[in-house]
Amino acid sequence: MNWVSPARLNAMGILGMNRRNIQLIAGHNPRRLYPLVDNKLKTKQLAAAFGIPTPTLRFVVTAQHEIREIRKKFEKIEGFAIKPAKGFGGKGILVISSFRENAFIKTSGVKLGEKDIQRHLSNIIAGLYSLAGTPDVALVEDIIQMDPLFNGYSYQGIPDIRVIVFKGYPVMAMLRLTTKASDGKANLHQGAVGLGLDIVTGKGLRALQFGRPVLVHPDTRNPLDGVNIPDWENILNLAAGCHEMTGLGYIGADIVLDKDRGPLLLELNARPGLAIQMTNGEGLLIRLRKIEAIAGKMRSTRERVACALDLFRRDQKSS
């Protein structure tokens, strides 16, 4: 994007880093609640208590001495993801799709030996990928089975849907597609494609990779128009329910669509990135202010989603 003056960005309602950090994150996300989302194990436990489905947790590796005997545990599962509980931005996540002839095979086809897996677990526990560099634990969960809907749209990995939820109301969404560059992870900084989604309908808007517009998926060459997420309201309900679950006023919920289990909560972010605005061609501020104006009343999750859909639908009609 060309340089645009701060005054112009403001007029467009683009939310900047300072305001996000000061007003939204500090103002709506009490610090004591951060561990609930900065630690994926805690998020999973909390989600289970609230009846929110997540990818199945197989086991947790908490100490270096457990690593030597780990192979037996892995042989029992067909595909899995290893991730640092306190990781972020896709760092330290290893997605293994199968185990054949003594090799663990990544979604990219690259083969890893037992030693590689052990080293990776050891690095996670030592805190190599943890937010503050503090010791961590490694989660091993089932691999998500991609909904065939995304065939041709995602390369060697599982796309996820990021929904920004403000005071429990969904305000903006984006689909993140894995690419060769992103190594099977749907994180924008790793090279995933972000495709804005119409908050009212779940239809694709515009796509960016590394901050630049793209019209086709960089690896599959599939055109990126025509994306239309089915069962959209259900996905918004799942995301909006994470407000009650955490008590956080401003969150980014990452949701995946599993072929067999349907929408699952992958993780929550208390400091969601701002690039979502570029994929929507619209700033967050105007939408946040509109929610602010209606959010006083107590409403159930479903009522809030219906309310937000109504509000943004009316906006679209009048513009």
Ligand X SMILES: Nc1ncnc2c1ncn2[C@@H]1O[C@H](COP(=O)(O)OP(=O)(O)O)[C@@H](O)[C@H]1O
What b/e string do you get for 210-224 counting C-beta neighbours within 10 Å, with b at 16 or more? Answer: eeeebeebbbbebeb
Where are the strands (E) in the chain, listed by range? 57-61, 80-84, 94-100, 103-106, 111-112, 138-142, 160-166, 169-177, 193-197, 204-209, 212-214, 250-258, 262-269
Contact 173, 162 (CB under 8 A): yes
Name the residue among 40, 132, 88 with its Cα closest to residue 271: 88
Give me 75's structure tokens. Answer: 């042989």
Question: Residue 74 binds what, of Mg ion, ligand X, none (CB under 5 to 8 Å, by partner type)?
Answer: none
The answer to the question of residue 93 lying near ligand X (CB under 6 A) is yes
Interface segment toward Mg ion; rule CB under 5 A; list 109-117, 127-135, 252-260, 308-316: 252-260
Binding mask 249-288 for ligand X (x = CB under 6 A): -----x-----------xx---------------------
What binding mask, one character per residue, do residues 266-285 give for Mg ion by CB under 5 A, x or -?
A: -x------------------
H or E element at residue 116: helix 114-126
- Contact status: 254 vs Mg ion (CB under 5 A): yes
Task: By CB under 5 A, tell whether 141 contacts Mg ion.
Answer: no
How many Å is the maximal CA-CA distance in the chain?
A: 63
Q: Does 175 bind ligand X (CB under 6 A)?
A: no
By CB under 6 A, tell whether 106 contacts ligand X. Answer: no
Residue 242 contacts which entry, ligand X, Mg ion, none (Cβ below 5-8 A, type-dependent): none
Q: Pick one of Mg ion, ligand X, none as the site partner of residue 196 (Cβ within 5 to 8 A by kind).
A: none
Residue 276 · residue 196 · CB < 8 Å: yes
Binding partner of residue 241 among ligand X, Mg ion, none, CB cut-off 5 to 8 Å per kind: none
Q: Give the number of residues in contact with ligand X, rule: CB under 6 A.
A: 23
Is residue 194 within the footprint of ligand X (CB under 6 A)? no
Among residues 29, 117, 120, 157, which is the contact residue for ligand X, using CB under 6 A?
Answer: 157
Alpha-carbon distance of 305 to 284, in angstroms, equals: 17
Closer CB to ligand X, 181 or 294, in the complex: 181
In DSSP terms, 106 is beta-bridged to 96
| 136 part of the interface to ligand X, by CB under 6 A | no
What type of residue is 283? G
The dihedral formed by the CA atoms of 113, 118, 124 and 125, expressed in degrees to the nearest 10: 180
Q: CB 159 → Mg ion: shortest distance, Å? A: 11
Residues of this chain that bind ligand X (CB under 6 A): 55, 81, 83, 87-91, 93, 95, 141, 143-144, 157-158, 160, 178, 185-187, 254, 266-267
Residues of this chain that bind Mg ion (CB under 5 A): 254, 267
